């Protein structure tokens, strides 16, 4: 279970720490240029990501990353050293769509496929889904496309695999 998000960026909770990613904000998207994710320390400079990123491109839950401790005391990720095989998909329910702005409804539709994930906030019901490599990728892609075509949500692919592309 992923611990609750802390407002304190340098938080350490048991063997879990926050690791921080820098990125260029996307036009028309959230203005943040960094995101902190919970991670389990594996060595002095590596950690395994414990939750699904909402903003960081090309990273998935369970990836192993290398970090340096900055002058600000935060653990800043410098590279991904091992990919977990998981994919990251972000889904934003359409406020006026059949599901309404319900992150729970999105989770409920993907739960039968063994997908876990997190919701950004009540105000922004963006859902970040973790798609394990063993999931039925073809069915998940079909549901994503159907939901978009029927006005349930918009979605974006953040971290995918060759298997995802082939499904």
Residue 119 pLDDT > 50, yes or no? yes
Are 10 and 18 within 8 A, CB to CB?
A: yes
Are 159 and 85 within 8 A, CB to CB?
A: no
CB neighbour list of residue 12: distance below 8 Å, 6 or more residues apart = 18
Q: Which two tokens stand for residue 17?
A: 């720490």
Rounded CA-CA distance 67/78 in Å is 5
Residue 133 pLDDT > 50, yes or no? yes
Count how many Cα atoms sit within 13 Å of the Cα of residue 51 in the half-sphere of its side chain.
22
What pLDDT, in 10s, does the model give residues 26-77?
887 788 899 999 999 999 899 999 999 999 999 999 999 999 999 999 999 9
Q: How confident is the model at residue 24 (pLDDT cuts 50, 70, 90)?
A: confident
What pLDDT, in 10s, does the model give residues 2-14?
444 444 455 565 6
pLDDT at 2 (0 to 100): 40
Q: Are strands 16-22 and 75-82 parallel, antiparallel or unpaired?
A: parallel
Question: Which CATH code for domain 87-166?
Answer: 3.30.70
Rounded CA-CA distance 41/17 in Å is 7
What pLDDT, in 10s, does the model give residues 149-158?
999 999 999 9
Domain boundaries, the chain: 12-82, 87-166
Are 153 and 147 within 8 A, CB to CB?
A: yes
Are 167 and 159 within 8 A, CB to CB?
A: no
pTM of this prediction exceeds 0.95 = no
What is the rounded radius of gyration, in angstroms, for the C-alpha atoms of the chain? Answer: 16
What is the average pLDDT across 101-129? 95
Is the Cα dihedral 19, 22, 23, 28 positive or negative?
positive
Percent of the chain with pLDDT over 90: 83
Q: How confident is the model at residue 147 (pLDDT cuts 50, 70, 90)?
A: very high
């Amino acid at each position: 279970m992923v611990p609750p998000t802390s407002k304190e960026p340098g938080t350490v909770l048991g063997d879990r720490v926050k690791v921080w990613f820098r990125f260029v904000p996307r036009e028309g998207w959230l203005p943040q240029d960094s995101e902190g994710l919970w991670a389990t320390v594996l060595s002095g400079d590596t950690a395994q990501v414990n939750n699904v990123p909402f903003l960081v491109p090309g990273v998935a839950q369970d990836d192993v990353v290398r970090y340096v401790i900055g002058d600000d005391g935060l653990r800043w990720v410098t590279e991904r050293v091992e990919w977990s095989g998981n994919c990251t998909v972000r889904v934003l329910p359409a406020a006026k769509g059949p599901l309404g702005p319900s992150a729970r409804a999105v989770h409920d539709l993907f739960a039968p496929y063994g997908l876990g994930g997190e919701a950004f906030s009540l105000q922004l019901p963006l859902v970040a889904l973790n798609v394990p490599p063993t999931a039925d990728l073809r069915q998940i892609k079909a549901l994503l496309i159907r939901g978009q075509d029927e006005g349930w949500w918009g979605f974006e692919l953040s971290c995918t695999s060759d298997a995802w592309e082939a499904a």
